[in-house]
A and B are shown apart, each in its own frame.
Chain A
Amino acid sequence: MSFTPKALLLVASLGLAACQNPDRYGAGGADGMGGTGGTGGTGYIDTNGLGDPNDPRSIAYFNQTVGDRVLFAVDQNTVSDQGRQVLNGQANWLNQNPGYAIIIEGHADEQGTREYNLALGARRAASVQQYLLSQGVAGSRMRTISYGKERPIEVCSTESCYSKNRRAVTVLSVGAGS
C-alpha cells in the first residue's frame, strides 16, 4: 500500500487551526476559562476572541452552553447517553454555523503507557467524529487529533481528575468550513 497526499489545502488551514488550540497548553475548562493557558505564545486564543457568551453564534456560547466536550469511561471510546446529548447540541450548532470547522481532540488519563494512550485518544476523537457525521456535520469540516495523556486538564492522581481527563473536546476554528 502506498500513500497519496490529497486535500493539502485543507490540511494546511486546519494545521493552522491546531496551533490555536486552547486545550493544547492545558487551558480550556468547560467554561473556557481556568487552566494556565497563554504560555504557548502567539497561537493561544484569549477569552476576548471567543465572543459574547450570550450570543448563540459565539464560540463562547458553544463552549459554555452547548458544551465542547464529552467524557469517557476507563479505556472506553463509546459515547455515553449524556455525551450524545452534548454532541447533538454540537451538531445542531455546527449545522447552523457553517462558517466554522472543528478539531476534535482526544485525551486519555495518565493510567496507561504513552503510546497506547495516543491511540486511545485517537479512538475517542474518532467516536465523536463518527457521531457528528451521523448528525449531518460534513466530514470536510472535521479533523481529529490525539494528545494521549500529554494534556491533562486536571492534575490529581485520583478518579475525580481522571474522569475529567478522559475526554474529547471539540475546538472551533473560523473559516475552514469549505
Chain B
Amino acid sequence: MTFTRRSFATTLLAGAVMVPAMVRAQNSPTRIRIGTGVIEPMPIAVPAFVDEGGAGDLARNLAQVVTSDLDGTGLFRTINRDAYISRIQGFDGAIAYEDWRVIKSEVLVVGAVSAAGDRITVKVRAYDIANGQQFEGAAMQFAGTKAGWRRMAHKVADLVYSTLTGEGPYFDSRVVYVAESGPKNARLKRLAVMDYDGANVQYLTDSSSIVLAPRFSPSGDRLLYTSYETGFPRITLLNLANLKRQTLAEQPGTMTFAPRFSPDGGSVVFSLERGGNTDIYKMSLSSGQTQQLTNAPSIETAPSYSPDGSKICFESDRTGGSQIYVMSASGGEGQRISDGAGRNSTPVWSPRGDLIAFTKQNAGRFHIGVMRTDGSEERLLTASFLDEGPTWSPNGRVIMFTRETEGGGGQASLWSVDTFGRNLKQIPTEGAASDPAWSPLLP
C-alpha cells in the first residue's frame, strides 16, 4: 500500500488568457457571497470537456466531478446538460453568450482535455455570462497522470469556486479518518485517507490495534494520531510518503493522546495523563524536548493552535463540565471563552483564524457549533444523538465531523456542514467512519 503525492504542474495560460481583459466589464463581475442569508444556488453550466485527443470518458467524467464539487457546496446549481442550446465546439471557440443567457446560466465553465499515454492535459476557462466575457484570471492549464484525473477536476472546480466567491478553494484536498468495522462492543479501527468527497480511499494501518483521532501536518505530508499499538495509548507520527510510524513522547506510566501539529509543523501539542491527571504538553519534533503548558488537577485536553501559532485553544473541566479556554502558546491558565449552556469541548481553530469550531453536549443532545475566538456569537450548526470532533476545510468555510447513531446497532459516519449550518450532508464511505481530519489544500 502506498500513498504517493503526484507531481502536478499548474500553469496559467498566460497569453491567451490575459488579452480579453482589454474588454472592460460594464457591470461588476458576477459573484456569489457566502453569508448568513438564505442563498439561492447560482445556476451555472458545465458542458462535457472538449476532447482534444485521446480523452475518451474523461471528457464527461471531468465535467461530472466539477459539477459534483460545485453543486455540493449548496452555492451552485449546474443546469441539466440536456437544456444547453450551444455546443462547445472547441476550447478556443467563440462563446454564444445569448444561448447561455436564455437558459439562465450565470457562469459557463469550458474545459478541454487531451491524453497521451499516461499523461493528460486539462485546460479550463470560466465565463461571466451576464458580462459577456471571461472572468479575469479564470483560466488554467494542468498536466498530470491519468490516475490523477479527479485531482485535476477538483482544481478546475477550485478555480471556479474561488473566482465566484472570492474565497480560498478547498476541493483539491484529502481527509484522513478512522474506518470502523465490527459490532459496537468489539469495534475494529484503522486509519484511512480519501479525497474530500470520499473517492480514492487508501488504508494506512491494519485493524490490529485501536487508532483514534488522526490529524494532518500543515504541509499534508505527515499524520499524528493516538494508537494502542504498544498496548497503551500513545501519540504516533506517520509519514505518508513511506507509511513509517514513530511513537512520540514515550514515558512509562503515562498516556499520551489528542495530538495536533503546530502551524509550522515543527512541534506537537498534546495531552499527557499521569496518575489520572491530564495536562497539555508541547514537544519539539526535531529535539524531542517536551514542555508542560498547563498544570492543573483538572482535565486539560483537545489543544488546537491559532493559525498564527500565538495561541492555543483547549478544553478543561476545571469548573465542572468541559468548557473552552484560550491560552498563550507558551502555556498558562488560559481564559475561558465558552459560556453557553451545556458542555463545550473539542475546540478547533479555523484556518482563517476567525472562528473556533467545537462540540456541545447539552440536554442529552450533541451539536457541532462555531463561536468567535472570544467566545461570542455562538452558532450551533447541527443536532443529533452524537455529533463530535469538527475539522475545518482548508478555506475555513466547511466543517466535517463524526455523527454516531443511537443504540446497539449504532454506527459512525462522516458529515459536513457549512459554517452557517447549511448544506448538511453525509460523506460517502465504504463502511462506518469517524474522526475525520481535513488536509491542507494540496499543492
Write the residues of chain A forming the contact surface with B, with a CB cutoff of 8 angstroms. 1-3, 5-8, 10-11, 14-19, 25-26, 35-37, 39, 41, 75, 77, 110-116, 118-120, 122-127, 129-130, 143-147, 150-157
Q: Are A122 and B406 in contact (CB under 8 A)?
A: no
CA–CA, A11 and B301, complex, Å: 25
Contact with A along B186-212 (1 / 0, CB 8 A): 111000000000000000000010101
Q: Nearest-CB distance from B80 to chain A (Å)?
A: 43
CA–CA, A88 and B406, complex, Å: 37
Chain B residues whose C-beta falls within 8 Å of the C-beta of A14 in the assembled complex: 231
With A36-B186, A145-B233, A155-B185 known as contacts, the answer to whether A5 contacts B250 (CB < 8 A) is: yes
B310 on interface, CB distance cutoff 8 Å: no
B353 on interface, CB distance cutoff 8 Å: no
Q: Nearest-CB distance from B92 to chain A (Å)?
A: 53
Q: Are B273 and A146 in contact (CB under 8 A)?
A: yes
Of B255, B257, B385, chain A has the most CB atoms within 10 Å of the CB of B255
Contact with A along B290-326 (1 / 0, CB 8 A): 1110000001011000000000000101000110000
Chain A residues whose C-beta falls within 8 Å of the C-beta of B301 in the assembled complex: 115-116, 118-119
Of B208, B226, B278, B317, chain A has the most CB atoms within 10 Å of the CB of B278
Q: Are A26 and B292 in contact (CB under 8 A)?
A: no
Q: Nearest-CB distance from A163 to chain B (Å)?
A: 15
Query: Which residue of chain A lies nearest to B183 when distances are taken between CB atoms in the complex?
Result: A36
With A113-B388, A115-B258, A156-B407 known as contacts, the answer to whether A151 contacts B185 (CB < 8 A) is: yes
Across the A-B interface, the 7 shortest Cβ-Cβ residue pairs:
A126-B276, A18-B231, A26-B185, A26-B186, A155-B408, A119-B278, A15-B231
Chain A residues whose C-beta falls within 8 Å of the C-beta of B291 in the assembled complex: 1
Q: Are B276 and A15 in contact (CB under 8 A)?
A: no
Q: Are B407 and A36 in contact (CB under 8 A)?
A: no
Q: Are B276 and A127 in contact (CB under 8 A)?
A: yes
B382 on interface, CB distance cutoff 8 Å: no
Q: Are B183 and A5 in contact (CB under 8 A)?
A: no
Q: Nearest-CB distance from B287 to chain A (Å)?
A: 10
Contact with A along B218-253 (1 / 0, CB 8 A): 000000001000111100000000000000011111
CA–CA, A137 and B407, complex, Å: 39
- CB < 8 Å: which of A10, A19, A77 contacts B252? A10
- CB < 8 Å: which of B185, B257, B278 contacts A35? B185
CA–CA, A17 and B249, complex, Å: 21
Chain B residues whose C-beta falls within 8 Å of the C-beta of A39 in the assembled complex: 182, 186, 188
Q: How many Cβ-Cβ contacts under 8 Å join chain A to chain B?
A: 139
CA–CA, A25 and B388, complex, Å: 24
CA–CA, A110 and B405, complex, Å: 11
Residues of B44-81 at the interface with A, using a CB-CB cut-off of 8 Å, are: none
Q: Are A2 and B290 in contact (CB under 8 A)?
A: yes
Q: Are B299 and A6 in contact (CB under 8 A)?
A: no
Q: Are B253 and A143 in contact (CB under 8 A)?
A: yes
B163 on interface, CB distance cutoff 8 Å: no
With A15-B231, A25-B186, A114-B213 known as contacts, the answer to whether A5 contacts B252 (CB < 8 A) is: yes
Chain B residues whose C-beta falls within 8 Å of the C-beta of A1 in the assembled complex: 290-292
B440 on interface, CB distance cutoff 8 Å: no
A-B contact pairs, 10 of them (CB 8 A): A10-B252, A14-B231, A39-B188, A113-B322, A116-B302, A118-B212, A118-B257, A125-B276, A147-B210, A155-B183
- CB < 8 Å: which of A2, A115, A150, A153 contacts B302? A115
Q: Nearest-CB distance from B335 to chain A (Å)?
A: 20
CA–CA, A11 and B208, complex, Å: 20
Q: Are B292 and A18 in contact (CB under 8 A)?
A: no
Q: Nearest-CB distance from B114 to chain A (Å)?
A: 47
With A16-B231, A150-B210, A150-B212 known as contacts, the answer to whether A115 contacts B251 (CB < 8 A) is: no
Chain B residues whose C-beta falls within 8 Å of the C-beta of A25 in the assembled complex: 186
Query: Which residue of chain B lies nearest to A27 when distances are taken between CB atoms in the complex?
Result: B186
B389 on interface, CB distance cutoff 8 Å: yes
- CB < 8 Å: which of B299, B359, B408 contacts A119? B299
Chain A residues whose C-beta falls within 8 Å of the C-beta of B385 in the assembled complex: 157
- CB < 8 Å: which of B277, B389, B407 contacts A157? B407
